[in-house]
Amino acid sequence: MIAQEDFERIEAYLENRLSKDEKITFQNEMKVNVKLKDAVEEVRNLGWAVQKAVLKEKLATFHQAIENELESSLTIRRHPLLNFKWAVAASVLIIVGISIVWYVSEKPKHGEAIFEKYFVPDPGLMTAMGSTQDYLFHKAMLDYKLGNYDAAIKGWESLIGVRSENDSINYFLGSAYLAKGDANNAIPHIEKVASDSLSNFKSSAYWYLGLAYLKIGNISKAELWINKSDNKNVTELLKELY
Amino acid sequence: MFRGRVSKFAEKTGDRFYQAFKENNTTEMEIFYRENFPKVARYIRANNGDLENAKDIFQEAFLTVWQNIKMNKINAETVISLEAYLYKISKNKWLDHLRSLESRKIIYVDEIVDTDSENENLHQKKELDELKYQKLEKGFKYLGKGCRILLEKFYFNKMSLREIAIEYNWTENTAKNNKYRCLQQLKKLALKNSEEL
Residues of B in contact with A7 (CB under 8 A): 180, 183
Domain residue spans of chain A: 4-59, 118-241
Average pLDDT, integer, range B185-195: 84
* pTM of the complete model beyond 0.80: no
Least confident of A61-70, A125-134, B168-177: A125-134
State how far the Cα of A105 lies from the Cα of B71, in Å rounded to an integer: 63
Mean of pLDDT over chain B: 83
Tell me, what DSSP letter sits at residue B75?
Answer: -
The tens digit of pLDDT for each residue in B102-137 reads: 766 554 444 344 456 667 777 777 788 788 888 999
Q: Residue A240 to residues A11, A234, B35, B49, B172: CA-CA distances in angstroms?
A: 63, 10, 34, 20, 68
B33 near B62, Cβ under 8 Å?
Answer: yes
Name residues 75-134 of chain A within 8 A of B (Cβ).
120, 122-126, 128, 130-131, 134
Torsion angle of C-alpha atoms B156, B161, B166, B171, degrees rounded to 10? 150
State how far the Cα of A167 lies from the Cα of B60, in Å rounded to an integer: 35
Using a pLDDT cut of 70, give the percent of chain B over it: 79
Under 8 Å CB-to-CB from A112, ≥6 apart: which residues?
Answer: A214, A215, A217
Amino acid A100 reads I
- As a whole number of Å, the end-to-end CA separation of chain A is 68
Beta-carbon separation of A45 and B129 below 8 A: yes
Average pLDDT, integer, range A3-16: 94
Average pLDDT, integer, range A160-172: 83
- Structural domains in chain B, sorted by start: 2-102 (1.10.1740), 138-196 (1.10.10)
- A96 conformational bin, left if phi > 0, alpha if psi -120 to 50, beta if neither: alpha
The tens digit of pLDDT for each residue in B11-30 reads: 444 478 888 998 999 999 99
Name residues 24-53 of chain B within 8 A of A (Cβ).
24, 26, 29-30, 33-34, 37-38, 41-42, 45-48, 51
Alpha carbon of residue B126 to chain centroid: 17
Tell me: pLDDT of A150 over 60: yes
Amino acid A123 reads P
Least confident of A73-82, A232-241, B144-153: A73-82
Burial A191-225, CB ≥16 within 10 A → b, else e = bbbbebeebbbbebbbbbbbbbbbbbbbbebbbeb
Under 8 Å CB-to-CB from A236, ≥6 apart: which residues?
Answer: none
Under 8 Å CB-to-CB from B119, ≥6 apart: which residues?
Answer: none
A118-241 placed in CATH 3.30.70.20: no
State how far the Cα of B7 lies from the Cα of B75, in Å rounded to an integer: 10
User: Model ipTM?
Assistant: 0.85
Least confident of A11-15, A70-74, A212-216: A70-74
CA distance A181 to chain B (A): 18
For residue B191, count CB atoms less than 10 angstroms from its CB and return exposed for 0-12, middle for 13-18, buried for 19 or more.
middle
Under 8 Å CB-to-CB from A134, ≥6 apart: which residues?
Answer: A128, B108, B110
Tell me: pLDDT of B59 over 80: yes
